[in-house]
Amino acid sequence: MSSGTDRFIDAVFDFERAVHAQDPEAQQQAHMELHRLYQSATPEEMAQGGKRLADVLTDVPPGPRANIAVLIGACVEGGADPVVCAPSVLANLAESLDSATEFAQQWATADVGEAPDPEHVELDPELFEYFGFGPTLSWWTLADWNRAALAMLSHKEVRQKFGHSGREIIRERHDALGEISDRWDKCLGYALSVLDDEPVIVLHRETNTGYAMRMTGIGDNFQLHTLLADALIGGGHIPGEAPSAEAVAMCRDVPGMVHTTGSFNLVAPDGSWIWNEGTPSDIPVVDGTHLLVLDPPPYQRSWPAGRFFPNMVGDLTLERVLAPDETAAWFERVSPAKGPDEE
């Protein structure tokens, strides 16, 4: 009898053999064992199991494939190498997005009301006949593919490996689906937009000062706002009330969230507001660099400070304070602030 520390990897081996043998009954049994045993697996088993499952993922029949991808994501969260596991998961996600879009297009053409919500409606096998097996299955399993992809994209190494252009391919497909359905997933959209080692020029209008900064792994502008206040107010560069050390730590790499209060209004160079609900990718690029202006907050706003993606390490660093002439040159590119009704 296998020991408690090797039973999960035994199930992985059994699943591999069943997939290669194209034995549906053995595959189903091994699949059930995988889910039963993975929570007790060691990090070493997770690392080995995640890689082996990723290697075989594309050979898994379409029906259970998305569920195996979720299991690979769980292995990554438990210690498997995300760079090794990501390619097959993200490639399948891209195909699933295309196929789900095909389903949405066919459904719209059929003009039979709103498309079914897989979270609340059971899959009717007759849909396979009307809309095709692949498109229908992709529509129903898309949430699993999104979930698996998020486990990969939470790691900077994966985002760097696929680069902006690689993620842009997936984002275009994701956006295409969102244009014709309500299946645009906010978390996936934000993850595909995350910036790493990205320079940003930050101008503080009240003090007429400027700062060269660099942002990495920041999921939304609430997180960015807190880290900006820490670097500039907490660093003694501008006046105001800095966030707590606990709030800052939770915006970087500490689990949890804690209450904090806003310090600025984030503004684009044209004077329009950049909403905290958005992402750092919303900050416009001027002369090849993201350019952000900080204005006084028009009203007090507070929120739970922390990371939008709990498993994604975020950071914002102040590289240098701009010289007065540099700051003046950047301010020449900036318009007066606008009110929210002037957007």
Q: Is residue 214 a contact partner of residue 199, using CB atoms and an 8 Å limit?
A: yes
Range of the domain at 127: 7-193
Q: Is residue 229 a contact partner of residue 265, using CB atoms and an 8 Å limit?
A: no
Distance separating alpha carbons of residues 243 and 231, to the nearest angstrom: 10
175 and 144 co-located in one domain: yes
211 and 329 co-located in one domain: yes
Counting every residue, how long is the chain? 343
52 and 159 co-located in one domain: yes
Instruction: Give the torsion sign (CA, 139, 144, 147, 151).
Output: negative
164 and 107 co-located in one domain: yes
In a domain, 229, yes or no: yes
Distance separating alpha carbons of residues 253 and 120, to the nearest angstrom: 35
233 and 119 co-located in one domain: no
328 and 240 co-located in one domain: yes
Task: Say what the pLDDT of residue 2 is.
Answer: 45
Burial zone of 210 (CB within 10 Å; 0-12 exposed, 13-18 middle, 19+ buried): buried
Q: What amino acid is encoded at 269 in this protein?
A: P
Give DSSP secondary structure letters for 228-293.
HHHHHTTTTSS-SPPPPHHHHHHHHT-SS-EEEE---EEE-TTS-B--TTS-GGGSPEETTEEEEE
Task: Say what the pLDDT of residue 112 is.
Answer: 87
In a domain, 112, yes or no: yes
Residue 186: HSE in the Cβ half-sphere, 13 Å Cα cutoff: 7
- Residues of the chain scoring pLDDT < 70: 1-6, 340-343
In a domain, 2, yes or no: no
Q: What amino acid is encoded at 203 in this protein?
A: L
The last residue of one of the domains, among 162, 193, 224, is: 193
183 and 264 co-located in one domain: no
Q: What is the pLDDT of residues 120-141, one digit of tens each?
A: 999 999 999 999 999 999 999 9
Distance separating alpha carbons of residues 18 and 67, to the nearest angstrom: 16
Query: What is the DSSP code (8-state) at residue 200?
Result: E
pTM: 0.92
252 and 299 co-located in one domain: yes
Number of domains within the chain: 2
Q: For the chain, what is the radius of gyration of the CA atoms?
A: 23
118 and 186 co-located in one domain: yes
Q: What is the pLDDT of residues 303-321, one digit of tens each?
A: 999 999 999 999 999 999 9
The last residue of one of the domains, among 155, 173, 193, is: 193
Task: Say what the pLDDT of residue 293 is.
Answer: 98
- Tell me how many helices (H) and strands (E) the chain has: 12, 8
189 and 67 co-located in one domain: yes
Distance separating alpha carbons of residues 333 and 320, to the nearest angstrom: 20
In a domain, 1, yes or no: no
126 and 226 co-located in one domain: no
168 and 207 co-located in one domain: no
The last residue of one of the domains, among 137, 165, 193, is: 193
Distance separating alpha carbons of residues 184 and 186, to the nearest angstrom: 6
In a domain, 256, yes or no: yes
